[in-house]
A and B are shown apart, each in its own frame.
Chain A
């Protein structure tokens, strides 16, 4: 849609940088906020350079800002690629590079919801080890055996990309005493795995103190299997944009199509079929995946979720059905997920 000329003139009157940003930002207010972030970033960068003894002049500073504004507004380069990072979760700083999908706020939102839900409701996090030991002694060996044996809660993150979801779960899930959390991220793109490992190194401080470990592996999800009883939950943000939606500007914005990897976007039901197959084969009790919309949820539920599983969708705060939540009915410890389902 064309920008109203009044807005354009108003932006020009204020500053040329603001006007440059307008085509992508669409409103003066959001252009102003983006300009503030860009300025803050350049300022920080310049102080770093000055700290290293490099000479920084005021015109360099202005040039850098207007260059970034031009790239952002006129060329449509995503802000995260220009600034190099996106804050995520409570304290994570996720580096972003060309060729790897930028973390979205939708993903952050459901990730936090699910991780917090697990932390508050899953018996692994709610019962202290001593209680479990006591109970085991009382009840003999049968009932609590599985929980005493697995003192590690294992999360598998498929199509991890920047590693944002894996790191988010590592940050949010804090294991109680004498237990630990293990998160494995898998992606088929080498660039993504490199970036994810870099992100792990940068953000290690957020989860290391709780004894959590994160591992990133390069593998194509269609060409590997997982052993039985390995993981407690599979999370994934697989490519889910359909061909039709990808080429329609109504759905997918120009900037996303131009700058973000097609490989991380174009996909569909085959991914969900594979993820749920992996969950079945590996006897994983719960699966949470990001999805495109209500329609896709219906397709997945109809085709891939069989008896023995309960499934439902959860909306994001923009009101779009954003995740599918599925768990095995017969296993205890996951039925609380019912509260999260609203579709």
Chain B
């Protein structure tokens, strides 16, 4: 982190509030809540956390009574963390109140101890701050696909061949990131354009559970500003490529017919490149492309990467499933948002998520306002991590704000 200059751009000019600033120097930029809210939970959030704890107790009782169920056990493990944090929280709050009383009392003994008391209060406040954050994080509903591996889809946007080249650069960026992280990945499909080192479509599968959660906010339009390799007059062009993040629901390995079976017969039309004439032993075609059309939604997937038609079909079904799941989820989220009629910034694919500016050696994320002057490091995956962290942080804050607003409206 120290190798390059990182600039945090606040969304609004910081308002200097001396007391809050001294205690929590970072949060003054982002947090919109009251100072007390930094270390104390909103009463309604507290009630929600407590109700979740009782749910956990019931769950663990049913686990011992009704026998083991992996889904329940997973849910319990998730709530365990929340429960232990909540227990600590409940323990700290009265202590803090006692200390506060002690610090303001005029008793000579207490005055003598005041310095120690204040120090301890600071300490506890810091711990409470961490605890509340953790509890809030647990309260924010986890994404249903969070634990899944993911598929990243790359598509060039405006900008012709240059956009295709950039789409490939982006794909390479994520590939190097995965290599650095030692995550298993495979390029499912890459339709290369002729004449330049670019792609018209790229599919990268990252077989690491939880990869979806990590890359969730990478989806959107990535903009590039540079002098393209195809440019002869040395002008800077702006082009764009879209990244789509899909959950990978099937492994695509051992039993490749799994994904196909989840569709009703007749729901998907399978088109293959027809062999000329009689087929069978008469011809030996290498044409293995497969195109699937999901009739109810009109989504099409074509795949021609492997020499085996069967494998192409299996991959295509995997992608179709992923697309449908993502679509369903997006619709659900949109519906929920509408029904709550909240005016909060959307956390999913907003337009233009990031800009890669080559002449300035700069990468800026437009959602969290994070800028880094280390473009090469970003493109070879080494400092992409910082972006992923920042965006995740930002998204969490957004969700927490969202949560608080919801609670207030109740």
A residues adjacent to B (C-beta < 8 A): 14, 25, 30, 32-34, 36-37, 78-80, 86-91, 101-102, 104-106, 108-109, 112, 116, 237, 239-241, 245, 250-253, 255-256, 260, 264-265, 290-293, 316-320, 322
Most buried by B among A252, A264, A319: A252
* Cα separation A28 to B284 with both chains bound (whole Å): 18
Chain B interface residue count, Cβ-Cβ cutoff 8 angstroms: 35
* Cα separation A144 to B253 with both chains bound (whole Å): 36
- Given A34-B286, A251-B282, 10 extra CB contacts under 8 A: A90-B255, A101-B281, A105-B288, A239-B281, A253-B282, A256-B282, A256-B284, A317-B270, A318-B275, A320-B280
- B301-319: CB near A (< 8 Å → 1, else 0) gives 0001011111100100000
B283 within 8 A of partner (CB): yes
Q: What chain A residues lie within 8 Å of B270 (beta carbons)?
A: 317
* Cα separation A291 to B275 with both chains bound (whole Å): 16
B279 within 8 A of partner (CB): yes
B71 within 8 A of partner (CB): no
Q: What chain A residues lie within 8 Å of B284 (beta carbons)?
A: 78, 80, 102, 104, 253, 255-256, 260
Nearest 7 pairs of A and B residues by beta carbon: A87-B308, A105-B309, A252-B282, A318-B274, A251-B278, A79-B286, A253-B283
Which B residue sits closest to A266, measured CB to CB?
A: B281
Interface residue ranges of B305-340 to A (CB < 8 Å): 306-311, 314
B residues adjacent to A (C-beta < 8 A): 192, 194-195, 253-257, 270, 272-289, 304, 306-311, 314
Q: How far is the CB of B288 from chain A (nearest CB, A)?
A: 7
Q: What chain A residues lie within 8 Å of B281 (beta carbons)?
A: 101, 104, 237, 239-241, 256, 264-265, 290, 292
* Cα separation A255 to B288 with both chains bound (whole Å): 18
Which A residue sits closest to B190, measured CB to CB?
A: A36
Contact A112/B257 with A86-B307, A105-B309 known, Cβ cut-off 8 Å:
yes
Q: What chain A residues lie within 8 Å of B283 (beta carbons)?
A: 252-253, 256
* Cα separation A30 to B286 with both chains bound (whole Å): 8
Q: Which of B194, B289, B310 makes the CB contact (< 8 A) with A109?
A: B310
Which A residue sits closest to B306, measured CB to CB?
A: A87
Contact A108/B282 with A14-B195, A317-B270 known, Cβ cut-off 8 Å:
no
Q: What chain A residues lie within 8 Å of B256 (beta carbons)?
A: 90
11 cross-chain CB contacts under 8 A: A14-B195, A32-B194, A33-B289, A91-B254, A104-B279, A104-B280, A237-B281, A240-B280, A251-B278, A252-B283, A291-B280
* Cα separation A108 to B312 with both chains bound (whole Å): 13
Q: How far is the CB of A278 from chain B (nearest CB, A)?
A: 21
Which A residue sits closest to B311, measured CB to CB?
A: A87
Q: What chain A residues lie within 8 Å of B272 (beta carbons)?
A: 317-318
* Cα separation A320 to B274 with both chains bound (whole Å): 10
Q: How far is the CB of A151 from chain B (nearest CB, A)?
A: 23
Which A residue sits closest to B278, measured CB to CB?
A: A251
Most buried by B among A78, A109, A253, A260: A253
Q: Are B282 and A322 in contact (CB under 8 A)?
A: no
Q: How far is the CB of B118 from chain A (nearest CB, A)?
A: 66
* Cα separation A132 to B304 with both chains bound (whole Å): 45
Q: What chain A residues lie within 8 Å of B192 (beta carbons)?
A: 32, 36
Q: What chain B residues lie within 8 Å of A265 (beta carbons)?
A: 281
* Cα separation A209 to B284 with both chains bound (whole Å): 33
Q: How far is the CB of B263 from chain A (nearest CB, A)?
A: 15
Most buried by B among A33, A78, A108: A33
Q: What chain B residues lie within 8 Å of A264 (beta carbons)?
A: 281
Most buried by A among B253, B280, B282: B280
Q: Are A109 and B274 in contact (CB under 8 A)?
A: no
Q: How far is the CB of B42 from chain A (nearest CB, A)?
A: 53
Q: What chain A residues lie within 8 Å of B280 (beta carbons)?
A: 104, 106, 240, 290-292, 320, 322
* Cα separation A101 to B309 with both chains bound (whole Å): 18
Contact A322/B307 with A30-B287, A256-B284 known, Cβ cut-off 8 Å:
no
* Cα separation A104 to B284 with both chains bound (whole Å): 7
Contact A108/B279 with A90-B255, A317-B272 known, Cβ cut-off 8 Å:
no
Q: How far is the CB of B225 from chain A (nearest CB, A)?
A: 30
Which A residue sits closest to B290, measured CB to CB?
A: A317
Q: Which of A116, A253, A260 makes the CB contact (< 8 A) with B257?
A: A116
Q: Are A320 and B307 in contact (CB under 8 A)?
A: no
Contact A88/B195 with A105-B288, A252-B283, A317-B272 known, Cβ cut-off 8 Å:
no
Contact A320/B278 with A87-B308, A90-B255 known, Cβ cut-off 8 Å:
yes
* Cα separation A320 to B78 with both chains bound (whole Å): 54
* Cα separation A51 to B255 with both chains bound (whole Å): 33
Contact A105/B282 with A14-B195, A32-B194, A317-B272 known, Cβ cut-off 8 Å:
no
Q: Which of B273, B277, B289, B310 makes the CB contact (< 8 A) with A250?
A: B277
Q: What chain A residues lie within 8 Å of B309 (beta carbons)?
A: 105, 108-109
Q: How far is the CB of B301 from chain A (nearest CB, A)?
A: 16
Q: What chain B residues lie within 8 Å of A105 (beta carbons)?
A: 285, 288, 308-310
Q: Which of A33, A106, A116, A255 makes the CB contact (< 8 A) with B304?
A: A33
Q: How far is the CB of A270 from chain B (nearest CB, A)?
A: 16
Q: How far is the CB of A290 from chain B (nearest CB, A)?
A: 7
* Cα separation A91 to B251 with both chains bound (whole Å): 13
Q: How far is the CB of B315 from chain A (nearest CB, A)?
A: 12
Which A residue sits closest to B304, measured CB to CB?
A: A33
Q: What chain B residues lie within 8 Å of A260 (beta carbons)?
A: 284
Q: Which of B194, B277, B279, B306 makes the CB contact (< 8 A) with A322?
A: B279
Q: Are A241 and B306 in contact (CB under 8 A)?
A: no
Q: What chain B residues lie within 8 Å of A292 (beta carbons)?
A: 278, 280-282
Most buried by B among A37, A102, A237, A318: A318
Q: What chain B residues lie within 8 Å of A37 (beta carbons)?
A: 286, 307
Q: What chain A residues lie within 8 Å of B286 (beta carbons)?
A: 25, 30, 33-34, 37, 79-80
Q: Are A293 and B310 in contact (CB under 8 A)?
A: no
Which B residue sits closest to A252, measured CB to CB?
A: B282
Q: What chain A residues lie within 8 Å of B195 (beta carbons)?
A: 14
Which B residue sits closest to A168, measured CB to CB?
A: B310
* Cα separation A260 to B281 with both chains bound (whole Å): 10
* Cα separation A80 to B273 with both chains bound (whole Å): 18
Q: What chain B residues lie within 8 Å of A256 (beta carbons)?
A: 281-284
Q: What chain B residues lie within 8 Å of A318 (beta carbons)?
A: 272, 274-275, 279
Q: What chain A residues lie within 8 Å of B289 (beta carbons)?
A: 33
Q: How far is the CB of A85 from chain B (nearest CB, A)?
A: 9
Q: What chain A residues lie within 8 Å of B306 (beta carbons)?
A: 87
Which A residue sits closest to B271, measured CB to CB?
A: A317
Which B residue sits closest to A41, measured CB to CB?
A: B307
Q: How far is the CB of A186 from chain B (nearest CB, A)?
A: 18
Which B residue sits closest to A255, measured CB to CB?
A: B284
* Cα separation A291 to B277 with both chains bound (whole Å): 15
Q: Which of A86, A112, A241 makes the CB contact (< 8 A) with B282?
A: A241
